[in-house]
Amino acid sequence: MPSGKKQPKNPLQSPQNEVITEFTSSLPFDRELYFWDIVGSLAHVDALAEAGIVTQKEQKSLKSGLKSVLKSIQEGEAELLLELEDIHMNVESLLSEEIGALAGKLHTGRSRNDQGALDLRLYVRERVLETLEELMEFQKVLIRIAKKNLGTIMPGMTHLQPAQPVSLAHHLMAYWFKMKRDFDRLVGCYERLNFCPLGSGALSGSSYGIDRFELAKSLNFRGPTDNSMDSVSDRDFAVESVFCLSLIMEHLSSLAEEIILWNSPQFGFIHLSPDFTTGSSMMPQKRNPDIAELTRGKVGRVAGDLVSLLTVFKGLPLTYNRDLQEDKEPVFDAFDTAVDSLWAMRNLLSTAKFDSIRMEEACKSSNLHATDLADYLVGMGMPFREAYSLVKKMIEDSSGSGSSIDEWTIKDFQKYSTLFKDDVKGYLELKNVMNRREVYGGTSEKSVGESISLVDALAKEESSVIRKIRDDVEKPVLQLLR
Ligand code: ARG
């Protein structure tokens, strides 16, 4: 044996040096899958027993051995070996320490190719559930704040320039609807991934008469996957889930960006709880919105995870290729990041205080009623383009003379047009400007109030979807680990 080389414990490997062992092993990251690997194996043992490949007695020993292995990994007692390449080989090896030669029957009719595909699907299923729960909790916070702020006026922006007054409720509910689509998108992803690849074998299907429908049912999948070659070659479900997470992060980053701005002294719209800001090491007066900034920054990670996956899977010939081992880390990282970001931003928002006076002040200094001033003239019969030019002139004159239009008397208005009547001042009050947007989906208190009642019903639908997915994820575990 040349120095640096040693006989491997893994029967699949030829002798190799440590660098190559490290290079090829997925154990440092796929150990995260141990729980689902064992749950999948328990289901597989039942399928083997059902097909008469193992006896009832063997089934019992295999299952109790697997449960002991699970316990020893959970309790940190099991020693997992890098040179066994991955979590699958490690579990099998621990099982043989537990029950001896019978462990050799576990892998009958199965390949690590369908096993690995199964493990990742089980993992993604669980984490989709966790993400949906986080999204729903976030939406609850948005609704709670919105309900209290139907009449809280703030400047709505385009190009980050003050444009028209909107309510804080309307602004926050915009995020509710973004998150609703995020929720639905993930549920769609879940529905496409909720099929069981086990029984596909290495690529062409198992020859042991395993009932794939029963097997799928025992893990609460909707059914078996339809083509063995597709099953072991594709991770599109993982890509899709990370795409969904990327969009969640994009949405969160917009909210984070707004919170960072609102929290700056120049805006002063929001005060963050000290638990969700950090101090400066040099400037004692500062509290920085780091949680929001990190959320904004972490979009880069998740979008990067998505690009990693797309690049790893590009151009792979059917079926399994070792490249697929690179599927796991980006998926784990994307879920960890998105779930943590949702949690942090939700708590940041729910403990923040909004400054309604500052928000309304900001509306007053910015002529947010200019469109309505033109609309007023339109209502009196003036063509919109003419009204637009006249109002533009009025605003220029007002800022030139330093007198806000809000302070003008009716006589000042009438210098520009005799169409202005006494009611124009009331017409321009911010609350009236806002509340004229009574269209479906508009910012009036009435429209937003109705919108919130509508989403209360949608929120109930979300919890029932979550309940069903929780059953899929949890019931097989209870059943198989009994
Ligand atoms: N460690 C491998 C992975 O995670 C397991 C599958 C190996 N399959 C194979 N045919 N070599 O992808």
Structural domain includes residue 362: no
Question: Residue 409: which domain range?
Answer: 370-427
Are residues 385 and 417 both part of a single domain? yes
Q: Is the CB of 116 under 6 A from ligand 1?
A: yes
Are residues 28 and 99 both part of a single domain? yes
Structural domain includes residue 387: yes
CATH code for position 21: 1.10.275.10
**328/37 Cα distance (integer angstroms):** 14
Contacts of 254 (CB under 8 A, 6+ apart): none
Please, which pLDDT band fits residue 362 given cuts at 50, 70 and 90?
very high
CB 207 within 8 A of CB 294: no
Domain boundary among the residues 105, 128, 156 is at 105
CATH code for position 396: 1.10.40.30
**414/418 Cα distance (integer angstroms):** 5
DSSP category for residue 226? S
Are residues 316 and 460 both part of a single domain? yes
> pTM for this one?
0.94
- Cβ count within 10 A of residue 307: 13
Q: Which of 90, 93, 325, 328 to mutate to test the pocket of ligand 1 (most atoms within 8 A of CB)?
A: 325
Are residues 276 and 182 both part of a single domain? yes
Report pLDDT digits (tens) over 51-92. 999 999 999 999 999 999 999 999 999 999 999 999 999 999
User: Annotated active-site positions, please?
Assistant: 159, 280
Structural domain includes residue 283: yes
Structural domain includes residue 196: yes
Q: How far is the CA of 477 from the centre of ligand 1 (A)?
A: 24
| pLDDT at residue 6 is higher than 80 | no
**349/354 Cα distance (integer angstroms):** 10
Which tokens hold the place of 152? 């809280």
Q: Is the CB of 112 under 6 A from ligand 1?
A: yes
CB 155 within 8 A of CB 185: no
- At residue 426, the pLDDT reads 93
DSSP category for residue 160? T
| pLDDT at residue 286 is higher than 50 | yes
**70/83 Cα distance (integer angstroms):** 20
Are residues 125 and 251 both part of a single domain? yes
Are residues 99 and 117 both part of a single domain? no
Alpha carbon of 106 to those of 53, 95, 119, 408: distances in Å? 10, 9, 16, 86
Note the helical H segments in 100-148: 112-148
Note the helical H segments in 314-380: 328-350, 356-364, 370-379
Structural domain includes residue 98: yes
- At residue 14, the pLDDT reads 64
Mean pLDDT of 218-222: 98
Are residues 319 and 465 both part of a single domain? yes
Four-CA torsion 213, 214, 219, 221, nearest 10 degrees: 30
Are residues 275 and 382 both part of a single domain? no
